[in-house]
Copies of this chain bind each other. A is one copy, B any other.
Amino acid sequence: MRAIRTFAAVVLLAVGAAAQAQTDALPSWNDGAAKQAIVAFVKDTTTQGSANFVPPAERIATFDQDGTLWVEHPMYSQVMYCLEHVPDVVAKKPELKNVEPFKTVLSGNREAIAKLPMNDLIKILAATLTGMPVETFQAEVKKWLAEAKDPRWKRPYTDLTYLPMKEVLEYLRANGFKTYIVTGGGQDFVRVYAEGVYGIPPEQVVGTAGGTKYGYAKDGKPFLTKEPKLLLNDNDAGKPEGIHLMIGRRPVAAFGNSTGDQQMLEYTKAGDGARLSMLVLHDDEKREYAYGPAQGLPATKVGTFTQALYDEAKKDGWVVISMKDDWKRIFAFEP
């Protein structure tokens, strides 16, 4: 009888340990305030009877992409995509060859290219995309992503996604949350790979969006082409405005990393009940990059994490994620 009891106790212990292991849905996170905040939030909002219980239909979580889900340094990959397409564009419209900003891009002068203002990048974007059928654009992005490589790691951009954040996406979905990308990047661009890379379907990608135009091909088949008209600038105040337009509910959790995410994080935190607003701090010079406020780096094209943003996070109760301290692993390809 004692033997049986002992055996049962051992089995129970083993089962308990297995359950324990299974419940660590965030193995790439170090134990700390950030990880604890995520786990506590999920428990608080999904446990029946909890004062902060959120019905499944209202479990909306939004994630910025560049710098929050994948590397944004030294330049957004979508900007890379457009710059690399300039030779094609100029081949079709040779009159652009000696016109700025195309001239600078064609010069190959990296320093000069890096200094191009956002306005010039938008000109390049419009020239690259206007009149292109949306399916052609999708096919081209797919092809580019399969071939293009990040200059530092020499790997496809889609490899440079943060493993700890992918675990958060999975963990939230396993607990009934609908995960959205809310990016300043191009909506049509991100939608091409979001399903394969993040498990997020196109209809759950909100981004900077241009217009399209409905028309008919010679055989009478209808199709859509890209237009230079900007419908949604999904940055800053454009993020909560885009969330209202595309989702129609205030998120319960939001994740960002720069001043472009400030309003989304504020808007999320201001809702009733338990809310989670998190900010990824790039403070890991060795394993990724360091460009948080403490680093005193010059402003770059990448999202800026200012001291003011850090102060607001502390004051408003957002949780700051230190890449250096909170993440055990950053990329899936690294041990």
Which A residues fall within an 8 A CB radius of B?
57, 60, 134, 178, 187-188, 191, 195, 201-203, 205, 209, 211-214, 221-224, 231-232, 237, 240-241, 244-249, 263, 266-267, 270
* Minimum C-beta distance from A136 to chain B (A): 14
Query: Which B residues lie within 8 Å of A263 (CB)?
Result: 214, 222
* Minimum C-beta distance from A275 to chain B (A): 12
Q: 18 more A-B contacts (CB under 8 A) besides A203-B203, A222-B240, A231-B232?
A: A57-B195, A178-B203, A187-B245, A187-B248, A191-B248, A202-B247, A203-B246, A203-B247, A203-B249, A212-B244, A214-B240, A214-B267, A222-B263, A222-B270, A223-B270, A224-B241, A231-B231, A246-B246
Number of copies: 2
**Are B214 and A248 in contact, CB atoms less than 8 angstroms apart?**
no
Once A203-B247, A232-B231, A263-B222 are accepted as A-B contacts, the answer to whether A241 and B187 lie under 8 Å apart by CB is no
Roughly how many angstroms separate A223 CA and B188 CA in the complex, as a whole number? 28
Roughly how many angstroms separate A266 CA and B221 CA in the complex, as a whole number? 8
**Are B203 and A231 in contact, CB atoms less than 8 angstroms apart?**
no
Which partner residue on chain B sits nearest A232 by CB separation? Answer: B231
Once A203-B246, A237-B214 are accepted as A-B contacts, the answer to whether A222 and B191 lie under 8 Å apart by CB is no
